[in-house]
Amino acid sequence: MDEAGGRERLVSALMRRLINIKPGQGAAFMLGALPLIAIFLLYVQAAAERSAANAADKLLPTLDKMGESLSRVAFHPDVLTGKVLILSDTIASLQRLGVGIGIATVVALVLGLALGVVPLVRATLAPIIATIAVIPPIAVLPILFIVFGLGETSKIVLIAVGIAPLMIRDLAAHVAALPNEQILKAQTLGASTWQLTLRVALPQALPRLIDSLRLSLGPAWVFLISAEAIASDVGLGYRIFLVRRYLSMDIILPYVAWIALLALLMDVILRGISREVFPWYHGKGK
Amino acid sequence: MSEILTFKDIWVEYGEKIVLERVSLSISEGSFVSIVGPSGAGKSTFLRLALGQEAPTRGQVLLDGKALLPQCDPDRGVVFQRYSVYPHLTALQNVLLGLEFAKSPFLGRLYGKARRDAIQTATDMLTAVGLQHNLNIYPSALSGGMQQRLAIAQALVKHPRVLLLDEPFGALDPEIRLEMHDLILRLWAQHGLTILMVTHDLQEAFKLATRVIKVDKRRHDPHAPHRYGSGIISDVTPDKTKPVPLDVTTLLLPSSDEV
Ligand SMILES: Nc1ncnc2c1ncn2[C@@H]1O[C@H](COP(=O)(O)OP(=O)(O)OP(=O)(O)O)[C@@H](O)[C@H]1O
Ligand SMILES: [Mg+2]
């Protein structure tokens, strides 16, 4: 009976156009997991084959090997410093990332609002921000190193300078695109420019800022790891580039997976905050 | 009745294109004026002038005898066809907003007793438009008619000298429209409002307004239609003792002395 129902559904699915066949929640989850599982299995298979052919293979380390190296290098307190490497790397990287992103977000919020709301500010600052935005941030990294030294500052500045222009422009465009009716209406309700910014533009800018922050996380990681690769003595990017000299895929791969996990987590948290705090933005009228 | 809003020999031009020419009109306090006319005739332009969204190329708009600054101010309330309410605020917050702007210049928010008083005022206003059961709902969850009710409440809580409406019921179903007619007539009478309303619907204009103004081109040059602007081609006071006639177009034919 169940089988007949399944067949019926299958037949009805096949008769519709492809664009109209939508997976349910469970099916979507399964479909999404499929490529991940496939890649994982492929890797395990390939690693096993290579290690059978050559036990000293470095390119595709088996899971056992990775676990072993990780516990030796990353999880075990270092004899010299007494610190757990992966922990201190993670803390250092997240700190740089957090401060850099934080600065970029605050700057984007203030400038984005000012540009979006006040035509005079837009006329004055939009061209220079557009100019800065087209400069590849990595190209100014040497300048940052010269100006701010090789310490934390230049890495943080790189992240902030790298992602801020886009966030500013996105937010300014979003605020400027608020229906003119809203702006006129606020004035008929007696709003000053400041009150209008605070009560009309700001609350509608915030969820958009979170969106653009989520999109900027990827580039932010790129800038972080680039800066760490070039000049650092701790950090996830630093570690990866350090062990590269010894072809230590058994360290690099778990580090990359760990970075991916951290990035994913940040994205999920930001999305959750947005849905919780701005229900109206996600089409939930309560 | 005293004059509240006066248009003095107004011209509106956009570059080569003349939209309004030689428009003079004075509106007395407490009247309900409806502006009708074909699409593109300049009805909304008329309203934008009164709102202060635009300044005329020539001429003056006076409110209570004083020339208007070309910006919107709280002595003129407005309801547009759409986008009049804030999607990020609940119904109550939407109406509170005008009260908060007035009393809290820096934060734009009220606290404590001031807030409780404002909530009372806003709730009364929402009750007057029939939204007392939807105080804490976001506009996206309100129907089109309810959103317009909210927009009206939001404007009226500021007690504007003139209420400007640009096709406020244009996007609503016929039945909801009738409900809105009752509502706006009731509020107009209760609050002693002066209303200037643009509409496409002649029946609506004659049913609601104490004065119907038709805006259209007086002259027409077939080779250069943009050379002539629109003016007021008829100015009619509907007889409120009789029902609205089925065909009202004849009532709006240009009066001979105008041409
Ligand atoms: N900023 C502008 N620049 C140039 N032309 C404009 C501008 N604003 C309006 N117009 C023109 O002025 C004319 C009158 O516009 P208006 O919006 O007042 O018409 P309307 O009578 O309200 O029409 P509708 O019934 O379609 O709303 C139109 O031809 C329009 O194209
Ligand atoms: Mg119009």
Looking at the fold, whether B53 and B168 belong to one and the same domain comes out as yes
The reply to whether residue A199 touches residue B140, judged by beta carbons under 8 angstroms, is: no
CA A248 from centre of chain: 26
User: Cα separation of B79 and B63, whole Å?
Assistant: 19
**Is residue B221 scored above 80 in pLDDT?**
no
Kind of pairing between the strands at B66-67 and B230-236: unpaired
The answer to whether residue B170 sits within a structural domain is yes
pLDDT at B256: 52
Whether residues B179 and B251 fall in one domain: yes
Q: Domain for residue B149, yes or no? A: no
pLDDT at B1: 60
For residue A117 the two structure tokens come to 């709301």
* Inter-chain CB proximity B78 and A185 less than 8 Å: yes
pLDDT at B258: 46
**CA dist., res. B217 & res. A114, Å (int):** 42
Q: What is the chain B residue with the closest CA to A204?
A: B88
Residues B30 and B50 both lie in one domain: yes
CB-CB contact of A50 with A57 (8 Å): yes
Overall average pLDDT of the B46-60 stretch: 91
- Residues forming a β-bridge with B14: B17
**Domain finish residue from B99, B126, B159:** B159
**pLDDT-derived band of residue B259, with 50, 70 and 90 as boundaries?**
very low
Residue nearest to atom 18 of ligand 1 (CA): B42
Same domain, B252 and B189: yes
Joined tokens for residue A170: 């996105």
Do B66 and B165 fall into the same domain?
A: yes
What per-residue confidence (pLDDT) applies to B255? Answer: 61
Report the distance separating Cα A173 and Cα A160, nearest Å: 20
Domains of chain A are 23-60 (no CATH), 74-282 (1.10.3720.10)
Inside any domain, residue B81: no
Q: Are residues B248 and B126 in the same domain?
A: no
Percent of chain B with pLDDT over 90: 64
Answer yes or no: do B115 and B240 share one domain.
no
Domain end position, chosen among B95, B130, B159: B159
Query: What's the whole-model pTM score?
Result: 0.87
Q: Whose CA is nearest to atom 22 of ligand 1?
A: B44
Residues of chain A with pLDDT under 70: 1-2, 284-286
**Any idea which of A203-212, A233-242, B115-124, B216-225 has the lowest mean pLDDT?**
B216-225
| B42 alpha carbon – ligand 1 mean position (Å) | 5
Do B164 and B123 lie in one domain? The reply is: no
Judge if the beta carbon of residue B158 lies within 6 A of ligand 1.
Answer: no
Q: Which residues contact A249 (CB under 8 A, 6 or more apart)?
A: A58, A59, A60, A61
CA angle A14, A17, A22 (to 5 degrees): 80
* In a shared domain, residues B123 and B103: yes
- And the tokens for B167? 């096709």
Domain that holds residue B134: 86-143+154-159
B40 lines ligand 1 (CB under 6 A): yes
Specify whether B117 is located in the same domain as B221: no
Of B83, B98, B141, the CB nearest to A286: B141
d(C-alpha A243, C-alpha A83), whole Å: 18
Closest listed residue to residue A165, CA positions, set A202, A132, A207: A132
CA-CA distance, A28 to A34, in Å (whole number)? 10
CATH code at position B14 = 3.40.50.300
Distance of CA B45 from the midpoint of ligand 2 (Å)? 7
In a domain, B80, yes or no: no
- State the average pLDDT for chain A: 90
Q: B35 CB less than 6 Å from ligand 1?
A: no
Residues B175 and B68 in one domain: yes
Task: Report the separation in Å between the CA atom of B44 and the middle of ligand 1, taken as the mean of its atom positions.
Answer: 7
A279 at B interface, C-beta within 8 A: yes
With a pLDDT cut of 70, the percent of chain B lying above it is: 97
User: Is B9 a residue whose pLDDT tops 70?
Assistant: yes
* Domains of chain B: total: 2
Across the interface, whether the CB atoms of B82 and A190 are under 8 A apart is answered no
CA gap A265, A190 in Å, rounded: 43
| The B195-198 sheet, strands edge to edge | B66-67, B58-63, B3-14, B17-28, B230-236, B211-217, B32-36, B195-198, B162-166, B76-79
Per-residue pLDDT at A205 = 96
pLDDT tens string B61-72: 999 988 888 888
Task: Give the Cα separation of B119 and B92 in Å (integer).
Answer: 8
Q: Among B95, B128, B159, give the residue marking a domain's end.
A: B159
Cβ distance of B101 and A190 shorter than 8 Å: yes
Domain co-membership, B62 together with B164: yes
Instruction: Give a yes or no: residue B250 inside a domain.
Output: yes
Q: Are B206 and B244 in contact (CB under 8 A)?
A: yes
Q: How much is the pLDDT for A2?
A: 63
At B142 the three-state DSSP class reads coil
| Mean residue pLDDT across chain B | 89
